Amino acid sequence: MIGTRTRKQGSKGTAPGIGGTRGIGARGIGEAQGTEDTRGIGKARAKAVPRHATGRLRAVTALLACVLSACSTAPEYLPPSVELPAAFRHATAEDGWQPARPAQAGTEAWWTVFDDRRLDLLMAALDDGNQDLRVAEANYRQALAAVDGARAGLYPQVSAGAAASRSRVASRSTGLAERTGSAGTRNDYIVDLQASWELDLWGRVRAGSAVAEASAAASAADLAAIRLSLQAQLAQSYFELRVADAQRRVLADTVLSYRRSLKLTRDRLAVGVAARGDVAQAEAQLKNAEAQALELELARAQLEHAIAVLTGHAPAKLAVPQADLDQLVPTIPAGLPSALLERRPDVAAAERRVAAANAQIGVARAAYFPSLVLSADGGLRADRLGDLLSLPNRFWSLGPALAMALFDGGARLAASEQALAAYDATVAAYRRTVLSALLEVEDSLVAHALLAEQERVQREALAAARTSLEIVTNQYKAGTVSFLNVIQVQTTALQAERAVLELRGRRLAAAIALIRAIGGGWQAPLRESR
């Protein structure tokens, strides 16, 4: 059963704990302001010092307690639950199919099970030159940089500056003119150093960092998913090209056979034992075979072009030599459904996006709380450049700043509701990804099993067609059957032979699809958290 996830929330429009925190903050600020306004100067203020000291001590204590407690407004994260079957429906222990343990999911090159050196070279070229892969890698580097940017908010920000200005004061001005004794111009030189640090009392910065980290993990899984998809696409295109090569050889042999049949028919026509219609049928059959051979040339050229682009080459720069289709269809452990969630990079990416959406809820909720910034500024200021480094011209300032939005027209509430809705959307997307993964594995398993049986039956049909062709050809030479019988049997034999090759290609494609469906052998290049 698909599980549900609960969150501890306050009333609508209020984040957890907001009421109590706001009350404390309001009382503390009001008490300090009231004391400052009602108390006089001198003796009255002197009498109020103990109460001021007590209030300040309480405020500092409360502030340190909040800092040390590392308050967080993000809900506790729990991965979404999905009901999984105990085993795949079409996975059996026959023909080498055995459940795989999650620990067996390695990082080896999965295509080496086909034992094809040319395919190994093409895979290496894909990893070096594919542009879609370069885009995914660049996106991952952006995500890592975003993590560093989010973590920077946990540390103080320090800046330095220098300025020079020249100003003129009106002759009747009583401000600067009285202090400088001049109603003319004034120079001002400043060199200062500024520092500020926002205390992450409510976990807003840490929640933002968690969002960036989870997004980077999702980007890493996306990179692995794209690499696996491109590798599977290249392998399928490569074996389709090999099937085309094998069919071209079959058609080349068939064309030679049809030419011999045409010559035989013409010879029989010359001696008066065959009709002119037999010659026409033989010519039509030969031309049809030659047209099919040209169609295969087109298909092979297009597959070769697709392989070139996948490996980062211009179509004219890559040529794949012809080779025999002698690859055996490997057996791939399908694994358990629960292990599938650990192996597939797209499932991992969807889960990390759920974690990022969960952390984003904390960012939205933290906006309800006040922000506290500690700032410091110090430097030198003088009206003459030569006096700038003089010690009496130094200045400094130090103090905290507390800010809180009291009314925003519902913007914070809307942001919080948006974060909750986004979380629910990522949970649904995660479960949809899991169901799609289970579907792909089941489809690949049943295709692998049934295509193997179908190829076995088709090979028996091919053997019967060849035997029939030999018998009918001998009968035609003996004059007991017409050439139409020969054409029919030859067509059946050709179709059966091409069907065997197509089924071999489909079995190889099904094996590749199964490897892709169970996640291949991937490991996300995640960076350790600092």
pLDDT at 357 over 90: yes
> Residue 199: what pLDDT?
86
Q: Is residue 101 part of a domain?
A: no
Q: Is residue 61 part of a domain?
A: yes
How much is the average pLDDT of 437-451? 88
How much is the average pLDDT of 66-93? 65
Q: Is 199 left (phi over 0), alpha (psi -120 to 50) or beta?
A: beta
pLDDT at 267 over 50: yes
Structural domains counted in the chain: 2
> Residue 167: what pLDDT?
80
Give 103 or 216, the one with higher predicted confidence.
216
Residue where one domain finishes, among candidates 72, 95, 114:
72
Give the list of residues 6+ apart from residue 7 with CB closer than 8 angstroms, or none. Answer: 75, 361, 420
Integer Cα distance of 382 and 397 in angstroms: 17
> Residue 184: what pLDDT?
66
Confidence label for 138 from pLDDT (cuts 50, 70 and 90): very high
Q: Is residue 38 part of a domain?
A: yes
Measured in degrees and rounded to the nearest 5, phi and psi for residue 187 equal: -100, 145
Give 388 or 302, the one with higher predicted confidence.
302
Integer Cα distance of 151 and 478 in angstroms: 90
> Residue 335: what pLDDT?
63
Give 395 or 108, the one with higher predicted confidence.
395
Q: Is residue 266 part of a domain?
A: no
Q: What is the pTM of this model?
A: 0.73
pLDDT at 421 over 60: yes
Residue where one domain finishes, among candidates 57, 72, 87:
72
Q: Is residue 339 part of a domain?
A: no
pLDDT at 83 over 50: yes
Integer Cα distance of 332 and 99 in angstroms: 10
Asked if residue 340 lies in contact with residue 100, where contact means CB atoms within 8 angstroms, the answer is no
pLDDT at 31 over 60: no
Confidence label for 72 from pLDDT (cuts 50, 70 and 90): low
Q: Which tokens is 251 given?
A: 């058609």
CATH code, domain with 377: 2.20.200.10
* Segment among 53-57, 261-265, 297-301, 321-325 with least mean pLDDT: 53-57
Q: Which domain holds residue 39?
A: 17-72
Give 297 or 11, the one with higher predicted confidence.
297
pLDDT at 58 over 80: no
How much is the average pLDDT of 116-142? 93
Q: Is residue 134 part of a domain?
A: no
pLDDT at 323 over 90: no
Measured from the Cβ of residue 266, the count of other Cβ atoms closer than 10 Å reads: 15
> Residue 384: what pLDDT?
78
> Residue 429: what pLDDT?
94
pLDDT at 10 over 50: no
> Residue 478: what pLDDT?
84
Q: Is residue 225 part of a domain?
A: no
* Segment among 73-77, 154-158, 426-430 with least mean pLDDT: 73-77
Q: For 481-527, how does the pLDDT look when each residue is reduced to its tens digit (9 = 90+)? A: 888 888 889 889 999 999 999 999 999 999 899 888 888 865 444 34
Measured from the Cβ of residue 311, the count of other Cβ atoms closer than 10 Å reads: 21
Return the residue matching tokens 């092979």: 300
Question: Of all residues in the chain, what percent carry a pLDDT higher than 70?
Answer: 76
pLDDT at 366 over 80: yes
Residues constituting the chain: 530
Confidence label for 473 from pLDDT (cuts 50, 70 and 90): confident
pLDDT at 42 over 60: no
Integer Cα distance of 248 and 134 in angstroms: 36
> Residue 64: what pLDDT?
47
Q: Is residue 386 part of a domain?
A: yes
Q: Which tokens is 49 given?
A: 């010092």
Residue where one domain finishes, among candidates 382, 403, 424:
403
* Segment among 27-41, 132-146, 327-341, 349-363 with least mean pLDDT: 27-41
Give 209 or 183, the one with higher predicted confidence.
209
Rounded to the nearest integer, the mean pLDDT of the chain is 78
Measured in degrees and rounded to the nearest 5, phi and psi for residue 478 equal: -80, -10
Q: Which tokens is 279 given?
A: 């010659």
* Segment among 123-127, 338-342, 347-351, 432-436 with least mean pLDDT: 338-342
Integer Cα distance of 508 and 144 in angstroms: 38
pLDDT at 217 over 80: yes
Confidence label for 178 from pLDDT (cuts 50, 70 and 90): low
Task: Strand 371-382: give its sheet, edge to edge.
Answer: 157-168, 185-199, 371-382, 394-403
Integer Cα distance of 259 and 253 in angstroms: 10
Max mean pLDDT range (7-16, 298-307, 441-450): 298-307
> Residue 35: what pLDDT?
35
Return the residue matching tokens 């070096």: 128
Q: For 268-287, how does the pLDDT look when each residue is reduced to its tens digit (9 = 90+)? A: 888 888 788 889 988 998 99
pLDDT at 450 over 80: yes
> Residue 12: what pLDDT?
36
Q: Which of 87, 110, 102 is nearest to 445 (CA)?
A: 87
